[in-house]
Amino acid sequence: MNKIFVNGNIVTMDPNQPKVEAIYIENDIIKNIGSNKEILNSKDNSTEIIDLEGKTMLPGFNDSHMHLIDHGLSLNKCSLVNIYSIEELINKIISFTKDNCSDWILAEGFNQDKFKDKKLPNRYDLDKISTDKPIFITRTCLHLGVANSKALKLAGILDHIPEIKGGEIDLDNNGNPTGILKENAMKLITEKIPTPSKSEIKNLIIKSANILLSKGITSIQTDDLNSVNGLDYKDIIKIYKELINENKLPIKIYEQCRMNTIDHLNDFINNNYNNYNGNEFFKLGPIKLFTDGSLGSRTANLREPYHDDNSTKGISTCNQNELDKFVMKSHNIGLSVAIHAIGDKAMDKVFNSIKKAYARNPRRDVRHGIVHAQITDEKLINEFKLYNVIAYVQPIFLNYDVHIVDDRIGKNRAKTSYAYKTMIDNNIKISFGSDAPVETFDVMKGIYSAVTRCDLQGNPKGGWLSKEKISIEESIYNYTMAGSYSSFEENIKGSISKNKKADLVVLEENIFEIDKDKIKDIKISMTFVNGILKYKNN
């Protein structure tokens, strides 16, 4: 199978030939790139010629941090993201249940801050939807949920109110549960929700991957070993392995291997998963850990108290000693780490551990990274540079965060944060992603955010901390080459270069010439994985 694409505005991300008109591919490999004339020389009777008609072609996008299975699971839940009152919430779920016959009714993404009275829904609100079927809905932050009476009954909470470590069951004045459950208390409900079968999980992985293809995404780095209640990391890896054996994975997956305890990590290593190679469609990547929470919920771990709540510096979910053990153990056997850290204090701790690991063992074949890397300053930027640590960044976070950062941490700390341009100027590897399903994985919305530093409505005018805006080319690089670097595949994919894999995306508009505020709405025309057309806009 060979194909020639001609008449394109082909932007390659390859510094040797940044822009060409045509490319020639044989099977899954890009064999040549150049002018129409040069490339058409390779044509024979079997060549398929595709006229790009001046459209822009880029390397396939790589989302460097997301949760694929969580995204798949969310497809079976009712989305409450754009809901502005409890009444609207009830009606939305009622209409969702009309085409959904699952035993449980699940919904997610509500935010009572958007409601006029800012009141949380309770069990009695949800009982208006159903008293026969259990219902559980979660807040956008995933740290709070609400159950109806049936779900509370199934969880045994109506008969007896247990003591929950690290969680809270909200009670009314008479001592009855209101249905509102916080943090670990949510587990009482979620452990009652039936685990989807293996074939259901396979189907939702494939379904989600196909949606990614419609956004031009051909590779992802995903954290999902902990995503399904009742299944452990081995079960999830097994599901992925079966999918590659069945040749069913439509996109290339690099798993960010979430380990919650050092025992998990030891078990992972004892079972030799650190030496599992898979194939280009499924590989095991870095060890993924958590060190703090989120800025929105004031759980990101800061050095100094929150500007809008002096009583807290956020939470640390992993102390220095534990973190040292995780990093040292991984580093010593050549496993990279990708650590969730949003606050400056959380990142200080990560760099302490990385510094100790390099002092003991100066190997250079690992590529450690920090996921989110939001609240930075000069010291932290220098450490990223010094230890060559990847910043796994989600520019779409700006859509919400431009409205809260100054409040949460004050202007002084904010002015060196979300420092994309500073990171690039310091040659720090900054690899873009979405954290989907927390935010949309639509790459065009991510690029728009990085380029304009505005929310999706275009505010604030001129962009928040506009000196940190980056160019369209830099944004595309961060969604392509930078991602392939984080998975050690920069010689295989990430640019349109000779002998690389033919993972390609064609856009409906010229992203370099369109008004910047329209970038977010650009549609994908075609997506190719290994030279095969996997998505076409009709």
Q: Which residue is nearest to Zn ion (CB)?
A: 435
Rounded CA gap, 403 and 399, in Å? 8
Q: How far is the CB of 364 from Zn ion (least distance, A)?
A: 27
| Amino acid present at 75 | L
What's the rounded Cα separation, in Å, for the pair 426 and 385?
Answer: 7
Nearer to Zn ion, 227 or 376 (CB): 227
- The owner of tokens 């074949």 is 365
Q: How far apart are CA 438 and CA 7, in angstroms?
A: 38
Which residue number, 344 or 435, has a Cβ lying nearer to Zn ion?
435
Using DSSP, state whether 290 is helix, strand or coil. Answer: strand
Continuous H helices in 280-374: 320-332, 344-360
Q: Which residues contact 95 (CB under 8 A, 6 or more apart)?
A: none
What is the nearest approach in angstroms of Zn ion to the Cβ of residue 340? 7
Q: Which is nearer to Zn ion, 224 or 474 (CB)?
A: 224
Residue 157 or 371 having the CB closest to Zn ion: 371
Would you say 142 or 244 has its CB closer to Zn ion? 142
Task: Give the footprint of Zn ion on residues 326-355 (CB under 5 A).
Answer: none
Sign of torsion, CA 324 325 327 332? positive
Cβ proximity to Zn ion: between 20 and 339 the closer is 339
Q: How far is the CB of 230 from Zn ion (least distance, A)?
A: 21
Site mask for Zn ion (CB under 5 A), range 81-120, x = bound: ----------------------------------------
Instruction: Return the number of other C-beta atoms located less than 10 Å from residue 6's C-beta.
Output: 20
**Minimal distance in Å, beta carbon 435 to Zn ion?**
4
Task: Indicate the burial class of 354 (C-beta count within 10 angstroms; 0-12, 13-18, 19 or more).
Answer: buried
Using the minimum distance from each CB to Zn ion, give the nearer residue, 64 or 497.
64
218: nearest Cα among 437, 535, 525, 471: 535
Q: How far is the CB of 489 from Zn ion (least distance, A)?
A: 21
Nearest to Zn ion of 85, 297 (CB atom): 297
- What is the 8-class DSSP label of residue 235? H
In contact, 19 and 12? CB cutoff 8 Å? yes
Beta carbon nearer to Zn ion, 290 or 387: 290
* C-alpha dihedral, 357 to 361 to 365 to 366, nearest 10°: -10
Q: How many residues bind Zn ion (CB under 5 A)?
A: 1
Task: State the nearest-atom distance from the C-beta of 67 to Zn ion, in Å.
Answer: 6
Minimum CB separation of residue 436 from Zn ion in Å reads 9
14 binds Zn ion (CB under 5 A): no
Q: Which two tokens stand for residue 252?
A: 């290339």
Binding letters toward Zn ion, positions 427-456, x by CB under 5 A? --------x---------------------
CB 192 to Zn ion: min, Å: 25
> For the chain, how are helix, strand and coil distributed in percent, rounded to 5?
35, 20, 45
- Closest separation between CB of residue 372 and Zn ion, Å? 8
Residue 292 C-beta: closest distance to Zn ion, Å: 12
Query: Is 151 in contact with 191 (CB distance < 8 Å)?
Result: no
In Å, the largest CA–CA distance within the chain is 83
Of residues 89 and 436, the one with the C-beta less far from Zn ion: 436
Region of residue 430 (phi > 0: left; psi between -120 and 50: alpha; otherwise: beta):
beta
Structure tokens at 363: 């190997």
144 secondary structure, DSSP code: E
Site residues, Zn ion (CB under 5 A) = 435
